Structure 1
Amino acid sequence: MQALGEIDGWDVPFATAGVTRAAGTIATRGDSTRPLELASVSKPVAALATLVAAEEGVVDLDEPAGPPGATVRHLLSHASGLPFEGARPIAPPGRRRIYSNEGFLVLGSHLETCAEMSFAQYVREAVCTPLGIGLDPEGHPGAGMHASLEDVLALGRELLAPALVATETHAEMVAVQFPGLDGVLPQFGRFSPLDWGLGVELKGAKEPHWSGSLTSPATFGHFGGSGTFLWADPTRDLACAALTTRRFGDWAKEAWARLSDAVVREADAQSET
């Protein structure tokens, strides 16, 4: 896929990117085996582990977790009222969409208690081993994982065609949780509403969006402050990921959107031939 050549012009020390469909990887560029910090791309991984736990009866999405009145579902969808960092809530649960790393730290501790094993070990058994990936889940549950591009593309395939969880569970993952909540998408500004699923951001009608202008409104995924992203567009059976060693900033907003639009154009053109 020629579109991946976009990363050659990025002002970053290292970059790798790839595109996959549910059936397998289409193309990669750069070293796809080098493990890198995922930052917040860890959150969909944590969410998948939690959804496996829900199906296994280890947790219930609507059981209490976090601040008074909050549940596992609130934590997964940034609706618990917890701030980005810090244990003191800044809003009642279900009132605002407040992007919260703290919420995933609480989620990880809750899952550890319920599963009677470390969060990282649960992720290994629930996600890594079944998918056959070398992702390292140690560290902050929502921001501390490390993985290679190959690992992240395997996650993209899981998001397109779930094997770890039932179709109904996956549908809930990508459905708007607590509809109508306003909030701020980090580095992109306030959206009304700021729609979120269970551990994944939903593109919807957001404009501008880090996945570009051509991905469908059904697109979902996550980006990370370490210069990483993963989006899945189910209407096209297409997922794209990029990992870099440059922190997220204005450079990424433009570069990611341009890469994503180029990928979509090329994939659409190939589908028409």
Structure 2
Amino acid sequence: MTVEQDVSGQHVFVGLLGATQRALAHRLAVAQAEGRAPSVVAAVVRDGHTVWQGARSSVAGQGPDGDVQYRIGSITKTFTAVLILRLRDEGLLSLEDALEKHLPGTGAGEVTIAQLLSHTAGLAAETPGEWWERSPGALRPELADVLGGEPFRHVPGRRFHYSNPGFTLLGSLVEAVRGCSWEQALRAEVLEPLGLRRTTVQPVKPHAAGWAVHPWADVMLPEPLEDLGLMAPAGVLWSTAQDLARFAVFLSRGDERVLCAESVAEMRAHVAPPEGGVVESGYGLGLQLWSVGGRAMTGHSGSLPGFMAGLWACEADDVAAVVLANCTSGLPAATVAADLVRIVAEAEPRIPEPWRPAAGLDAALLELTGPWYWGTAAYLLKVLPAGGLELGPVAAGGRASQFRAEADGSWTGLNGYYAGETLRAVRRPDGSLSHLDLGSFVFSRLPYDPQVPIPGGVDPLGWR
């Protein structure tokens, strides 16, 4: 590991410690051996840079590198979601629009775009007929062939139910609004701006071959390579560890050429709880959410016959990992990727930025800080480093939320119980601060302050 100094004299750590690199290499080696994968390749990103790459292969001296393509399966869905969010940001659609508004005649037009992105549209998990991942896309030439005569399994909006056909509809929506193919839009709007030159619809050498490994014997069977047709937006892409490492950085930080940081953060926000019994702890907009050992991660898993893939990022630790393998089952790529994130985060914890006093803090904002009372419950209001507010209970178990400033002087809740609610500072005629109004709740400087308009009034005899 190299230690450098930036212009402010702070230490900057480039690369990983030798012990950390060995731990990563050991985890990957164990995964390949126990998973009996023909090959596996991985990359770790920290602070926006690839700091480690590793590979293992069953062929001596022929391990893959970060430029070898593997099929990434459902990680493709995240790329499709980025295209949809771009359309939203351009004002060409709303996530609350019914699909029918932009893509009529599907037979599933009552669902919203947001429901499709979050797998809450109630659609079937798979297509009717033959297993779509292992059969030609020509068998499903129209959306009606993808959805079938009875596309719904649940009432739209009621529950999370993972749906591959749902992302086919989103891909067709991109084509309808853009007036070009999904692949053309993806190439021009996402892959080229982010420099993902080795992410393609069809494999481009060097690429791994897809294999099925016998469950009870050490022999292999080649998997067929099919053109997925209309199902492409759900899982067609090929990519490399290097390209997906760059994509992981984008998913953490955004890129104004593709999606701003705020829109990418919206993708990472929790929308849907998991289906009972599945690993994921939730789903955002085209991104899976997973809590592993108390560490919140976002990303996506992927698989197609012959391939398994995993991409996970931990925003708090600013670490991401990618794992790609060419086997149908056996090597849990998503779990291994999460382990690589954990290894780095635990072995080399993120060093926080040095504390610095805030510059130009408004006196009126400073006046809001300190203790407040909702009834008899004590709360603290603090100014966040980025300029927002945080309201939280003094004791454990209360409601906590962060707030952003609005142009009219109010504040809007960003998370927790008060997400979307309005916080206002109410002043007396002489300009002095009276109380806070938060969605009709009155917060006063004293418990049940008689000088504040407490709903229901305050007993004139006072405390006794």
TM bracket (short chain): 0.7 to 0.9
3-state SS of the aligned residue for 1:157? helix
Q: Alignment partner for residue 4 of structure 1, among 3, 24, 40?
A: 24
Counterpart position of 1:38: 72
Matched to 1:28, the amino acid is Q
Query: What is the aligned counterpart of 2:186 among 123, 142, 148?
Result: 123
Question: Structure 2 matches for 1:38-187, cutoff 5 A?
Answer: 38-65=72-99, 67-86=108-127, 87=147, 88-134=151-197, 135-137=199-201, 139=228, 140-163=232-255, 164-177=258-271, 179=272, 181-184=273-276
Distance 1:194 1:7, change over 3 A: closer
Give the CA deviation at 1:244: 0.6
What residue in structure 1 maps to residue 325 of structure 2?
244
Q: Are residues 241 and 227 of structure 1, via their aligned partners in 2, closer, same or farther at CA, if it must alter by over 3 Å?
A: same
Evaluate the alpha carbon distance shift between residue 132 and residue 2 of structure 1 in structure 2; reply closer, same or farther with a 3 A threshold: same
> Cα gap change, 1:46/1:248 in structure 2, threshold over 3 Å: closer, same or farther?
farther
**How much has 1:223 moved relative to structure 2?**
0.7
Q: Normalising to structure 2: TM-score of the pair?
A: 0.51
Taking structure 1 as the reference length, the TM-score comes to: 0.85
* 1:20-35 correspondence runs (5 A): 20-30=45-55, 31-35=65-69
Structure 2 CA distance for partners of 1:250 and 1:244, relative to 1, 3 Å? closer
Q: Is the 8 A contact 2:125 2:162 kept in 1?
A: yes
Contact conserved, 1:85 with 1:100, CA < 8 A, in 2?
yes
Q: Deviations over 1:187-237 (max 9, x none)?
A: xx247x952100001124xxxxxxx536x22x1111112321001111011
Q: Quote the Cα distance in structure 2 between the aligned partners of 1:85 and 1:147.
A: 24
1:252 is displaced (CA, Å) by 4.9
Give the conservation status (yes or no) of the 8 Å contact 1:64–1:72: yes
The number of residues matched between the two structures is 255
Aligned to 1:222: 300
In the TM superposition, residue 56 of structure 1 has moved relative to its aligned partner by 2.1
1:14 aligned onto 2:39? yes
Q: Secondary structure at 2:247's aligned position in 1?
A: helix
Distance 1:124 1:4, change over 3 A: same
Question: Separation in 1 of the partners of 2:201 and 2:348?
Answer: 32
Change (3 A) 1:253 1:147: closer
Q: Quick one: percent identity of the two aligned structures?
A: 27
* RMSD, aligned α-carbons: 2.3
Task: Give structure 1 stretches of 5+ with no counterpart.
Answer: 205-211
Residue of structure 2 equivalent to 1:209: none
The worse-fitting range, judged by mean Cα deviation, of 3-12 and 250-259 is 250-259
Cα drift, residue 41 of structure 1? 1.2
Q: Gaps (5+ residues) in structure 2?
A: 1-20, 56-64, 100-105, 128-146, 203-227, 353-464
In the alignment, residue 99 of structure 1 is paired with which amino acid? Y
Judging changes above 3 Å, is the alpha-carbon distance between structure 1 residues 171 and 34 closer, same or farther for their aligned structure 2 residues? same
Structure 2 partner of 1:200: 287
Partner-residue secondary structure (3-state), 2:233: coil
Q: Deviations over 1:32-74 (max 9, x none)?
A: 0001100111111111122122212333222212624311111
Q: Which has the higher strand share?
A: 2
The answer to whether 1:267 aligns with 2:301 is: no
| Cα contact 2:42–2:66 (8 A) shared by 1 | yes
- Would the aligned equivalents of 1:3 and 1:266 in 2 still touch at CA under 8 Å? no
Which residue type is aligned with residue 158 of structure 1? F
Distance 1:132 1:182 in 2: 33
What are the Cα deviations for residues 154-175 of structure 1, in whole angstroms up to 9, with x where unaligned? 1100011110212321221111
SS in 1 for 2:244: helix
Aligned to 1:208: none
User: Based on CA coordinates, which of the two structures has the bigger radius of gyration?
Assistant: 2
1:213 paired residue among 271, 293, 314: 293
Supply the AA of the counterpart residue of 1:3: A
